[in-house]
């Protein structure tokens, strides 16, 4: 009897240990996935914030370019330094605006006088702007005067219809690093940025690494990544694809999780990383030979079981919120409602009250009748066909999302109300021209109704209100007969 009791107790203890070990292992895996999802969301947010920040610098230069174009060549070139036409910048993160003339001369709003051998036409920023014919951001280089790392935003300048040179402004990498550091207040998470050649241009945790190249052979003295080859495989992968790449590597003996992706503005690679939390599996493994620990573990076993169950429930709820799958609509492949809500809230905060944005609400006409007539499988195909028609009509930078059911939403940035209306008229026609048969519709084919709300005069300061008035315009389009665009005029 005593031996049988001991056997039962032993089996019970073994079962409890196996159960705890399995749940600890499962918890560790789910914690890692939750951490990755959190990093993905952080990277998405940092990408949007950084793109908006650097785009704002380009807009400042474009504004200066438009201003200069209002004056004659002689007026602009009258002063080489302290030129009043160049003193247009109030942004502390970019330098004085300057012009490298096609004659080789240099004009600046500041006091810097270039050396006698200085010819702006030989500088990288000048040549790249002339070749691209657009406003561009140069590769990182060292400033001749200060020796600091920097990039130059530059654009070809035409005065009186004739090419006059290149107008430019500098952004120092220290300012980019400071901006990223100020943006990131999340615990144990840091950001770094590399150029296409593998040079670290920003590192918010280890600024002393800026300027180092991950391909350099002399990096053995730097205790940064324990297995550099492993990191290079991730970097090579992200250079070959436009998707985000998960990373898992060790930094000074600490397991680190990270996400890296390409940033179109500046042709750089932005990464977020965090040291993995110290989990129960690691703790048990490191103390498995300790009799005292095992006795204490068995003494609190019931409490641990309750805690594990509770933690698992919380973790599953967090995973539902943090999973990357929530970003895309599974049927159409475009963004979903959750992503749109996060995006419109973020951009309205960044743009100072949704200014300069047009919001479009779109609904497929008589969609319920279509499903009743042709069935839900054909209805799903209509959703995909309409999505494709819209995607082929709008611009690459426009955010197109499924709002729910047969309703869609479209965000247009940096357009006037007239251009926004022109875009949605093309969308309306593109869906109509798709020619999807719809016998229950008075039009004989699938059509859409569109409501447009254009906030080009800083009238709207709240994302929720913005959505409401776009929806009102959509309601008017339906009320007025469908298959039409109605612009909000309240």
Domain definitions of the chain by residue range? 2-56+184-324, 69-164, 337-487
Tokens of 44: 């998405």
Q: Is the dihedral of CA 4, 5, 10, 13 positive or negative?
A: positive
At what angle are helices 2-68 and 173-183 packed, to 10 degrees? Answer: 130
Query: What CATH fold (topology level) applies to the domain 337-487?
Result: Alpha-Beta Plaits (3.30.70)
Least confident of 183-187, 261-265, 290-294: 290-294
pLDDT at 280 over 50: no
CATH code of the domain occupying 2-56+184-324: 3.30.450.20
Q: What mean pLDDT do residues 116-132 have?
A: 86
Tokens of 183: 């943006």
pLDDT at 447 over 90: yes
Task: State the pTM of this model.
Answer: 0.44
Per-residue model confidence (pLDDT) at position 136: 83
Tokens of 422: 């022109």
Tokens of 361: 């609400």
Name the superfamily (CATH) of residues 69-164.
PAS domain (3.30.450.20)
Per-residue model confidence (pLDDT) at position 206: 80
Per-residue model confidence (pLDDT) at position 490: 63
More confident of the two residues 245 and 458: 245
Least confident of 94-108, 220-234, 441-455, 459-473: 220-234
**Which residues neighbour 318 within 8 Å (Cβ) at sequence distance 6 or greater?**
34
Span 176-212, pLDDT tens digits: 777 776 766 555 578 888 888 888 878 878 877 877 8
Instruction: Show which residues are catalytic.
Output: 406
Q: What mean pLDDT do residues 115-142 have?
A: 84
412 vs 395: CA distance, rounded Å: 9
Span 209-250, pLDDT tens digits: 877 888 775 555 554 566 677 788 888 888 888 778 888 877
Q: Can you give the three-state secondary structure of the chain, one letter per residue?
A: CHHHHHHHHHHHHHHHHHHHHHHHHHHHHHHHHHHHHHHHHHHHHHHHHHHHHHHHHHHHHHHHHHHHCCCCHHHHCCCCCCCHHHCCCCCCCCCCCEEEECCCCEEECCCCCCCCCCCHHHCHHHHHHHHHCCCEECCCEECCCCCCEEEEEEEEEEECCEEEEEEEEEEEHHHHHHHHHHHCCCCCEEEEEECCCCEEEEECCCHHHCCCECCCHHHHHCCCCCCHHHHHHHHHHHHHCCCCEEEEEEECCEEEEEEEEEECCCCEEEEEEEECCCCHHHHHHHCCCCHHHHHHHHHCHHHHHHHHHHHHHHHHHHHHHHCHHHHECCCCCCECHHHHHHHHHHHHHHCCCCCCEEEEEEEECCHHHHHHHHCHHHHHHHHHHHHHHHHCCCCCCCEEEEEECCEEEEEEECCCHHHHHHHHHHHHHHHHHHCCECCCCCCCECCEEEEEEEECCCCCCCHHHHHHHHHHHHHHHHHCCCCCEEECCC
Span 65-97, pLDDT tens digits: 888 888 888 888 888 888 887 776 677 777 778
pLDDT at 475 over 90: yes
Per-residue model confidence (pLDDT) at position 223: 47
Q: Which residue has the tokens 């875009």?
A: 423
Span 31-61, pLDDT tens digits: 566 666 777 777 777 777 777 777 777 888 8
User: Pairing between strand 162-172 and 149-159?
Assistant: antiparallel
Tokens of 109: 């709003």
Q: Give the confidence band of 405 by pLDDT, cuts at 50, 70, 90.
A: very high
More confident of the two residues 352 and 344: 344
Q: Which of 229-238, 309-318, 384-393 has the highest mean pLDDT?
A: 384-393
With a pLDDT cut of 70, the percent of the chain lying above it is: 75
Same fold, 69-164 and 337-487: no
**Which residues neighbour 253 within 8 Å (Cβ) at sequence distance 6 or greater?**
226
Q: Is 194 exposed, middle or buried (0-12, 13-18, 19+ CB in 10 A)?
A: buried
Q: Give the confidence band of 304 by pLDDT, cuts at 50, 70, 90.
A: low
Per-residue model confidence (pLDDT) at position 288: 46
151 vs 168: CA distance, rounded Å: 10
pLDDT at 426 over 90: yes
With a pLDDT cut of 90, the percent of the chain lying above it is: 24
390 vs 309: CA distance, rounded Å: 46
Q: Give the confidence band of 476 by pLDDT, cuts at 50, 70, 90.
A: very high
Q: Give the confidence band of 287 by pLDDT, cuts at 50, 70, 90.
A: very low
Buried b (16+ CB within 10 A) or exposed e, 461-476: eebeebbebbbbbbeb
Per-residue model confidence (pLDDT) at position 311: 53
Q: Which of 252-256, 270-274, 338-342 has the highest mean pLDDT?
A: 338-342
Are 383 and 332 in contact, with CB atoms under 8 Å apart?
yes
């Amino acid at each position: 009897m005593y031996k049988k009791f001991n056997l039962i107790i032993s089996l019970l203890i073994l079962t409890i240990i196996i159960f705890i070990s399995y749940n600890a292992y499962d918890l560790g895996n789910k914690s890692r996935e939750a951490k990755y999802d959190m990093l993905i969301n952080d990277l998405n947010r940092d990408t949007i914030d950084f793109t908006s920040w650097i785009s704002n610098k380009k807009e400042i230069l474009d504004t200066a370019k438009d201003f200069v174009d209002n004056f004659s060549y002689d007026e602009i070139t009258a002063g080489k330094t302290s030129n009043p036409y160049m003193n247009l910048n109030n942004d502390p993160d970019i330098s004085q605006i300057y012009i490298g003339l096609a004659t080789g001369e240099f004009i600046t709003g500041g006091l810097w006088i270039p050396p006698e051998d200085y010819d702006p036409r030989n500088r990288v920023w000048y040549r790249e702007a002339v070749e691209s014919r657009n406003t561009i951001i140069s590769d990182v280089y060292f400033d001749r005067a200060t020796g600091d790392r920097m990039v130059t935003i530059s654009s070809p300048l035409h005065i009186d219809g004739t090419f006059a040179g290149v107008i430019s402004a500098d952004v120092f990498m220290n300012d980019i690093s400071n901006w990223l550091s100020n943006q990131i207040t999340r615990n144990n998470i840091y950001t770094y940025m590399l150029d296409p050649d593998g040079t670290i241009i920003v590192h918010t945790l280890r600024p002393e690494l800026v300027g180092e190249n991950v391909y350099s052979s002399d990096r053995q003295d730097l205790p940064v990544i324990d297995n550099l080859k492993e990191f290079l495989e991730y970097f090579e992968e992200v250079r070959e694809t436009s998707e985000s790449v998960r990373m898992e590597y060790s930094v000074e003996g600490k397991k680190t999780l990270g996400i890296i992706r390409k940033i179109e503005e500046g042709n750089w690679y932005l990464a977020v990383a965090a040291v993995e939390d110290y989990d129960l599996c690691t703790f048990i493994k490191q103390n498995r030979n300790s009799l005292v620990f095992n006795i204490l573990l068995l003494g609190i076993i019931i409490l641990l079981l309750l805690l594990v169950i509770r933690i698992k429930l919380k973790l599953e709820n967090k995973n539902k919120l943090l999973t990357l799958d929530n970003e895309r609509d599974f049927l159409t492949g475009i963004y979903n409602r959750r992503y749109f809500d996060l995006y419109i809230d973020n951009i309205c905060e960044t743009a100072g009250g949704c200014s300069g944005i047009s919001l479009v609400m779109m609904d497929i006409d008589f969609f319920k009748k279509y499903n009743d007539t042709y069935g839900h499988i054909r209805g799903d195909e209509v959703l995909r066909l309409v999505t494709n028609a819209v995607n082929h009509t709008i611009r690459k930078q426009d955010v197109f999302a499924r709002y729910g059911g047969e309703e869609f939403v479209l965000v247009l940035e940096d357009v006037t109300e007239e251009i926004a209306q022109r875009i949605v008229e093309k969308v309306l026609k593109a869906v109509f021209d798709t020619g999807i048969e719809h016998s229950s519709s008075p039009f004989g084919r699938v059509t859409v109704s569109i409501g447009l709300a254009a906030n080009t005069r800083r009238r709207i300061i709240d994302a929720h209100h913005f959505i409401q008035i776009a929806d009102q315009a959509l309601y008017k389009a339906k009320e007025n007969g469908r298959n039409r665009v109605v612009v909000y005029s309240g």
